[in-house]
Amino acid sequence: MPDDSVSPHGVVVIPTYNERENLASLVRQLLSCQPNLDVLVVDDNSPDGTGAIADGLAAEEPRVAVLHRTSKDGLGSAYLAGFRHALTGPYDYVAQMDADFSHRVEDLPNLIAAVERADVAIGSRNVEGGHAVDRTPLRRLISAGGSLYARGLLGLPVRDCTGGFKCFRRQALQRIDLDRVRARGYAFQVEMNHRCHQAGLQLVEVPIVFPDRVAGQSKMTWRIFVEGWMAVIRLRMESRFSKLGGTPPRGPDVPRMTGA
């Protein structure tokens, strides 16, 4: 048996908005998954009571914490708030995953193990052993096209650029200037991959199975899709200006959110 006192201590950040049907079961599975794993729920004032459920879990279990935000301000800013909060704690690694069971708890230990040899582990549907379950042809096309587009324009050494199941070494997150990350929606995943690659961090892809959500409604909209395509262009321009020694226009920053 490994000695838990010297095992890496980590936290998984879970953004939530209207996930009351999934959250309690997911958190309990995560707590059983790894003895040295804490859970940080970042709730965007869910009208369905998800925040109250999270508070109840935190009251029962000291390994659970909740960060309440005042409004729904996008997946990216929720993760950034969670990362900043996690970096104030004693964690060796920080993982991120969705609340809807499209990221399987049983795949998490493989991501955690992977950051023993790399800076960032990315759960990938597009490497050998990984795949998505019950995806419509349209959704497969969007996912594959988005990854191909981001890889081509940004030169990312990653086959699944849009996946949101990841694990970072603490030192890796500390090397990223989180204040420069501007994507609010699902483009956040691409931007974080780009920032990590630009920082010289080692990224490794770990095969995962990606099922459809268990309950609740998808948050994907056409606006999020358009934001993703535009974000890649923005990052490409930023990289070109940087190589030329200039500074591209930043536009509006993502505001920081406060939480309890």
pLDDT-derived band at 234 (thresholds 50, 70, 90) equals: confident
% of the chain with per-residue pLDDT over 70 = 78
Which pLDDT score is estimated for 257?
A: 29
pLDDT over 50 at 249, yes or no: no
**Fold adopted by 10-243:** Spore Coat Polysaccharide Biosynthesis Protein SpsA; Chain A (3.90.550)
Q: Is residue 239's pLDDT more than 50? A: yes
pLDDT given at position 7: 82
Asked if 35 and 10 touch (Cβ cutoff 8 Å), the reply is: no
Top-confidence range, 95-109, 123-137, 231-245: 95-109
Contact 37, 65 (CB under 8 A): no
Q: What is the dihedral of CA 45, 225, 168, 213, to 10 degrees?
A: 60
Residue 224 binned pLDDT confidence (cut-offs 50, 70, 90): low
Cα dihedral across residues 145, 103, 84, 54: positive or negative: positive
Please state the domain extents for the chain: 10-243
User: 227 is written with which tokens?
Assistant: 């934001």
Looking at residue 221, its pLDDT comes to 56
* pTM of the full structure: 0.83
Question: Given pLDDT bands bounded at 50, 70 and 90, which one contains residue 242?
Answer: low
Please, what is the average pLDDT of the chain?
85
- Indicate whether 197 pLDDT > 60: yes
- Better pLDDT: 148 or 71: 71
> Using one digit for the tens of pLDDT, what is the confidence trace for 51-77?
999 999 999 999 999 999 999 888 999
